[in-house]
Amino acid sequence: MRIERIDLYHVSQQLVSPFETSFGRQEERHCLLLTIYGDGLIGWGECTAAGSPGYSYETVQTAWHILSDFLIPTVMTRELKEPEELIEWLTFVRGHPLAKAALDQAAWDITSQRDGLSFSQKLNQPYAKAPRPRVKVGVSIGIQDTIKKTVSVIQQHLDLGYGRIKLKIRPGHDVELARTAKIAFPEVPIMLDANSAYRLEDAPIFQQMDDLDLLMIEQPLGYEDIYDHSQLRKLINTPLCLDESIHSVDHARYALAIGACDIINIKPSRVSGWTEARKIHDLCLEHNVPVWCGGMLETGVGRAAQLALASLPGFTLPGDISATERYYNEDIAIPNFYLNKADSTIDVPTADGLGVQVDYDRLKAATLRKKSFEK
């Protein structure tokens, strides 16, 4: 497939409610969207770099630069046959996984459409089992002003049908929060996400949570650390999950080799896309390590592709993939995603490619700048 044109958009959307983590508070969400044009088809990708370098060193500005000046010009010179090839073309750029993932996603979308398959079907081709039609999901709840407020926000989400709750923590807002939440909702699977706010010396804080039967603790230590996590894991009972420090299947291999985690959060954008995400999935499946699909407050464009990833056989834990209304009043992709209340699942799209359409009026309203690249 000849790639005829690529359009790049910087968009900004108001979140339904502010999202606060140990690295900052977001009221509006910036991201990049891009489209690949070829063979009369359009493939979409989302770059989840944010307005500030809190979660990742990448931002919308760095991703714009890397995509415009390096990645897109390279992709424009190539013929796209299968999506797995694309990431190989981009190895001359070190790092910048979020920028690369947007192109990788668009390549999966457009080639799925070409093949008359949904993204999920194409991604699931190597496996004997049919893809899951619905995937288990949970909700990620940001830091609230008080513990009391957190309890009421948890209740609201349980009432909506979410069957797994993730609470963001930071130093000083951790043990008491977790204990209060577990006392209020003893039957609910609750997990914590620290976004790298602690150090190994803080192990006693996590030991105080040993009796709480938490589902897992996500990324307590450094965002580049693997070793200290392997030490912490020996000191605590709660299963340990890595997010920030896994950028590739190699990192996942290092983590498993030294026993740094029990679980991996596979965020496709953090690992430069769906091709690499599937490799991590395969490695974890081989080692019986459960995985789940993480989120970055995606628009429907990114969310459709998260659902495709979570339909792979090894995704046995609920993902951070919530209903559209948890993020945006008017998403740029239609239709919206809804939670199936009975079993806390979301349906995996079945139409060709991503299975969502972009509403161009809404996209236009949300776009801060746009650039087209043509041959």
CA 276 from centre of chain:
13
With CB under 6 A as the contact rule, the residue among 296, 305, 312, 323 that binds ligand OSB is 296
Q: How far apart are CA 192 and CA 105, in angstroms?
A: 28
Comparing CB distances to ligand OSB, the nearer of 131 and 302 is 302
Size of the site for ligand OSB (CB under 6 A): 11
Which among 122, 136, 168, 279 is annotated as catalytic? 168
Half-sphere exposure of 143 (CA within 13 A, CB side): 18
Which of 100, 122, 166, 267 is an active site residue? 267
The verdict on 193 binding Mg ion (CB under 5 A) reads yes
Q: In what order do the strands lie in the sheet with 165-168?
A: 139-141, 165-168, 190-193, 217-218, 240-242, 263-266, 291-293
Does residue 140 touch ligand OSB according to CB under 6 A? yes
Q: Given candidates 46, 104, 174, 243, which one binds ligand OSB under the rule CB under 6 A?
A: 243
Residue 75 CB, nearest distance to ligand OSB (Å)?
26
- Closer residue to ligand OSB in complex, CB, 38/294: 294
Q: How far is the CB of 6 from ligand OSB (least distance, A)?
A: 25
Q: Which is nearer to Mg ion, 4 or 290 (CB)?
A: 290
The count of C-alpha atoms lying within 13 angstroms of the C-alpha of 67, restricted to the half-sphere facing its C-beta, is 36
227-286 positions binding Mg ion, by CB under 5 A: 243
The nearer residue to Mg ion, 228 or 243, going by C-beta atoms, is: 243
Q: Which does 295 bind (CB under 5 to 8 A by kind): Mg ion, ligand OSB, none?
A: ligand OSB
From 30-38, 99-107, 176-184, 294-302, span contacting ligand OSB (CB under 6 A): 294-302
Backbone angles phi, psi at 189, to 5 degrees: -65, 115
* Residues whose CB falls within 8 Å of the CB of residue 35, separated by 6 or more in sequence, listed in order: 6, 7, 42, 43, 44, 45, 106
**Residue whose entry in the numeric block shows the structure tokens 């340990």:** 240
> What residues are paired with 26 via a beta bridge?
19
CB of 264 to Mg ion, least distance (A): 11
Count, residues near Mg ion per rule CB under 5 A: 3
CB of 92 to ligand OSB, least distance (A): 28
355 belongs to the binding site for ligand OSB (CB under 6 A): no
Q: Is 267 among the catalytic positions?
A: yes
The CA distance from 300 to 329, in Å, is 12
The residue within the footprint of ligand OSB, chosen from 294, 314, 318, 353 (CB under 6 A), is: 294
C-alpha span between 194 and 238 (Å, rounded): 14
Which of 1/242 has CB closer to Mg ion? 242
- Summary count for the chain: helices (H), strands (E): 13, 15
Contact 271, 250 (CB under 8 A): no
298: contact with Mg ion by CB under 5 A: no
Rounded Cα gap, residues 212 and 214, in angstroms: 5
Residue 139's SS3 state is strand
55 binds, among Mg ion, ligand OSB, none (CB under 5 to 8 A by kind): ligand OSB
Binding site for ligand OSB (CB under 6 A): 55, 140, 193, 195, 243, 294-297, 320, 322
Active-site amino acid positions:
168, 267
